[in-house]
Amino acid sequence: MTLASRRTTAGLLGLALAAVAIALVVAPIGAPQAAGSKALNGTFRLTAGSYSAGKGHGTYFRMIYPGGKRYFPNPDSKARDKTFILGVPGTDGGLATGRFQPGPSPSFDAKGNARANKIIKPGVFTAIRFSVATLKKDPQSKKVVAVTSARVSGSRLTVNVPGYTAEWNGQYFNQGAPKPDGSGSPATGTYNAKTRRFVLTWTSKVSGGAFSGFTGYWHLEGTFSPR
């Protein structure tokens, strides 16, 4: 081995050692974030939706037409802007983790009005009541999904809610985050550990049925109540 090649080898070895050292130093910086992430078990108690100053507040959802350029107006919305569909907390007060929140059986009355009332109270959507539930088995894809779960890391809130299902006019529309097949992202938002106030948002594309191709935008806001 020549002197030059010995120097090159030594140099490369030094670089490798330096890289390992840097990795060892940097890794713990990220680690506390994962270690600091903790599960939230309880109910995300919802604040009723409202609309003012051109903005939605509290709990509401909007339906985005395929193509994403406009929102579906619900003439029955209480908001001035009818594309905001306001939610009122149901008998459970909101979205619970660690358990499913199905509606009664049958899910609909004879006119197609949804009867689920745990998460939100049924609201009127184009003359027929709609509601939401978290279902263990997605009626559209027939897949069994994971139960609702939530984690918080600092102020960042992440909620997996694959069984979230809108019910209307005798039909089910999965609005999970992620979707039952695992595609898409979980719901994300902010959480204040002191006040337990949270804001949670997600989008979920409708797959199948009359609104196939539409995307639901969900905005849940309120106070977390631990179990």
Partner 1 sequence: MGWFGRERSGASAPGVSRSVLLVLALIGIGLAVAPLAFGMFDRGPKGAQMMQDFKPFMTDARLNGFQQHIRDIDAGVRETDGPVAAKLAGPGAAGHARFDRRYPGFAQFQHDWAPIDADMTHLLDTIQANVGNYQAVVALPSFRLFPWFFVIPGVLLALLALAAALVRRTSSSIRWVIVALGISLVLAPVAFQMFQRAPKGGRMMSTFKPIETRQKVETMQGYFGTIAVGQGALRLEIVPALRHAGLDDAQIAQRFPRLVTLDTRWVGILNDLTPMIGAMSDNVDNYQAVAGLPPFPLFPWFFVVPGVLIAGLAFASGRRGRPSLAPATAAGPIPT
Give the binding site for partner 1 (CB under 8 A).
65-67, 72-76, 82, 111-112, 126-128, 169-171, 208-214
How far apart (Å, rounded) are the C-alpha atoms in residues 135 and 139? 8
- Asked whether the beta carbons of 36 and 153 are under 8 A apart, the reply is yes
CB of 166 to partner 1, least distance (A): 13
Q: Which is nearer to partner 1, 73 or 93 (CB)?
A: 73
Residue among 93 and 208 whose Cβ is closer to partner 1: 208
C-beta closer to partner 1: residue 102 or 208: 208
119/70 Cα distance (integer angstroms): 27
What's the closest the beta carbon of residue 63 comes to partner 1, in angstroms? 9
Q: Which is nearer to partner 1, 44 or 214 (CB)?
A: 214
**How long, in residues, is the chain?**
227
Give the DSSP letter string of 183-224: -S--EEEEE-TTT-EEEEEEEEE--SSTTTT-EEEEEEEEEE
Residue 169 beta carbon to partner 1: minimum distance, rounded to whole angstroms: 5
CB 79 within 8 A of CB 38: no
Please report how close the Cβ of residue 25 comes to partner 1 at its closest, in angstroms. 52
